[in-house]
Amino acid sequence: MSQRILIVDDDKWVVKAVRGYLEQAHFEVSTAYDGKDAIAQFERVRPDLVILDWMLPEIDGLSVAERMREISQVPIIMLTAKTDEDDRLAGFSSGVDDYVVKPFSARELEARVRAVLRRSENKKTPVLEVGGLRLDLEQRQVWVEGKPVELSAMAFDLLAFLMRHPGRVFTRLELLEAVRGESYSGFERSIDSHIKRLRQKIEPDPHDPHYILTVFGVGYKLAKGEER
């Protein structure tokens, strides 16, 4: 299931550009153009993350963030032209998780979105278990059938992402974007090398994998317990 993003900005061109980019990155996107509508959309859509402009009509962005924080811990990224330390501190006090300063690139914003979502998921589910795999996100430790294994940072992040979505098939590009925030199609084949090294660490037989399965013509998935 796609993660839901709510974009709030009174600049319709910004909303259109960001929405188009995030939808291409396989997010489900909703929009609002003022503070009052933002709160209504938030309560209706229940997004996984909010991209919120500071300067909004009806209700300003800081007040919107505070309202959202009263009912939810959903991550919030603030869009702002304000760069003073006092402004940033005011934003963090209202519950904002990260800042993106205008003007910004869509690629930068997507990378921030993925990073904030990863941090949010880590807080919600510090330990993941699928089949014989157990992964502690806080300690960054992995066990296979009860035995600890050492993974590189990239291998750990890749396994953690797959374990959050057991049974779901991801393309190479989707995996690269998820763990590194990169969307250059020329680099997507590098995922094959990372998968190969990860299999060497966690599979009883890397040539006949039980955990990370290849879906030919598409990409990879983590097998659910019953698929092994």
Where is average pLDDT lowest: 85-94, 112-121, 135-144?
A: 85-94
When pLDDT is cut at 50, 70 and 90, the band that residue 74 belongs to is confident
Give 207's Cβ-side CA count (13 Å radius): 0
Rounded Cα–Cα distance for residues 76 and 95 (Å): 8
Query: Is 70 exceeded by the pLDDT of residue 210?
Result: yes
List the one residue out of 90, 39, 88 whose CA is nearest residue 68: 39
Write down the pLDDT at residue 82.
Answer: 65
Give mean pLDDT, residues 160-189: 75
- 35 vs 91: which has the higher pLDDT: 35
- Of residues 40 and 103, the one with the higher pLDDT is 40
Q: What is the pLDDT of residue 182?
A: 52
Query: Average pLDDT over the chain, rounded to whole?
Result: 85
Q: Which domains does the chain have, with CATH numbers?
A: 4-122 (3.40.50.2300), 125-227 (1.10.10.10)
